[in-house]
Amino acid sequence: MIRWFQSKDFTVQLIILAVVFDPLGFASGYLLAPSFDIDPIYGGIAGLLAGSFVLSLHVLYTVMTQ
């Protein structure tokens, strides 16, 4: 799986990460927010930020290794 991901172009890697982690982050934040007494939409926004963090780390890693 990792070899398949690394064989893709950098822009395709970014799209794959965004498609996977942004909805996952939003959904988990939306569902977990009520347990912290927060409105679900704010939890979804926090989940989007957390999902984008993975994307930012990938960009940082790629830039540092080239």
> Tell me, what's the pLDDT at 30?
97
20 falls in which pLDDT band (50, 70, 90)? very high
Mean pLDDT of 43-55: 94
Between CA 8 and CA 26 the distance in angstroms is 25
Q: What is the DSSP string of 2-65?
A: HHHHHTS-HHHHHHHHHHHHHHHHHHHHHHHGGGGT--HHHHHHHHHHHHHHHHHHHHHHHHHH
Supply the pTM of this predicted model: 0.83
Which tokens belong to 6? 């690394």
Instruction: Spell out the residues 6+ positions from residue 1 whose beta carbon is closer than 8 angstroms to its own.
Output: none
> Tell me, what's the pLDDT at 1?
85
